[in-house]
């Protein structure tokens, strides 16, 4: 990556962020887990009944702004489903068909409530509802692409200068639910 950028790797839980982050790291890029950053900066709560560890986004945002001002910016991928909430230069969004996500969640042992919440979030567009389109964004469908294919697309996006995607082509599960 040229120009020292911070890239948010986001998406509904279960869409393949960790797998992609691992591949990116294996190819020599810096990858930081948002959860690890939150732990390091004491901005995360204890594990709740559903297995989640809530992050204090406001506190973490404030602490990261200070930390990132004090150290030189390096090309870094910030991996986490909340990563788009922070001071990043561009955003990679992973999406996955809700039926596939439901199967993944059942294998993970998620509660019915947690499954419903996450699937609803994916159906409604997840991070697209929370991001500023002023930042370059790209979206990948992990229900159709392998991690390697997504990685290759990600690398092409970088090589092409992080060009924003055509937002008229954003995945719309509501119109595709019969698939």
Return the structure tokens found at 42.
């004491």
Positive or negative torsion for Cα 165, 167, 172, 175: negative
User: Other C-beta atoms within 10 Å of 82: how many?
Assistant: 17
- Give the pLDDT score at 127: 84
Domain ranges in the chain? 6-176
Full pLDDT tens readout for the chain, 179 residues: 556 788 999 999 999 999 999 999 999 999 999 999 999 999 987 776 666 778 888 999 888 887 776 676 678 899 999 999 888 889 999 999 999 999 999 999 999 999 999 999 999 988 888 887 778 899 999 998 999 999 999 999 988 888 877 777 888 888 766 65
Q: For residue 61, count other CB atoms closer than 10 A to its CB.
A: 14
Please provide the CATH number assigned to the domain covering 6-176.
3.40.50.300
Q: Helix or strand or coil: residue 129?
A: helix
Q: What's the pLDDT score for residue 170? A: 86
Query: Helical H runs in 46-136?
Result: 57-70, 98-108, 112-123
- The answer to whether residues 122 and 139 touch, using CB atoms and an 8 Å cutoff, is no
CA distance 126 to 104: 17
Q: Give me the helices (H) in 12-146, please.
A: 17-26, 34-40, 57-70, 98-108, 112-123
């Amino acid at each position: 990556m040229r120009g020292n950028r911070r890239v948010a790797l986001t998406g509904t839980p279960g869409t393949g962020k960790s797998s992609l982050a691992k591949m990116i790291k294996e190819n020599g890029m810096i990858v930081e887990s948002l959860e690890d950053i939150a732990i390091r900066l004491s901005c995360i709560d204890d594990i709740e009944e559903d297995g989640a560890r809530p992050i204090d986004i406001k506190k973490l945002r404030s602490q990261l702004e200070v930390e990132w001002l004090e150290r030189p910016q390096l090309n870094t991928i910030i991996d986490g489903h909340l990563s788009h909430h922070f001071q990043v230069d561009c955003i990679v969004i992973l999406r996955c068909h809700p039926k596939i996500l439901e199967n993944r969640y059942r294998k993970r042992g998620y509660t019915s409530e947690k499954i419903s919440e996450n699937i609803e979030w994916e159906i409604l567009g997840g991070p697209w509802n929370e991001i500023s389109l002023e930042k370059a964004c790209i979206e990948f469908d992990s229900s159709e692409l392998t991690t390697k294919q997504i990685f290759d697309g990600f690398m092409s996006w970088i090589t092409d200068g992080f060009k924003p995607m055509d937002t008229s082509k954003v995945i719309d599960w509501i119109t595709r639910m019969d698939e």
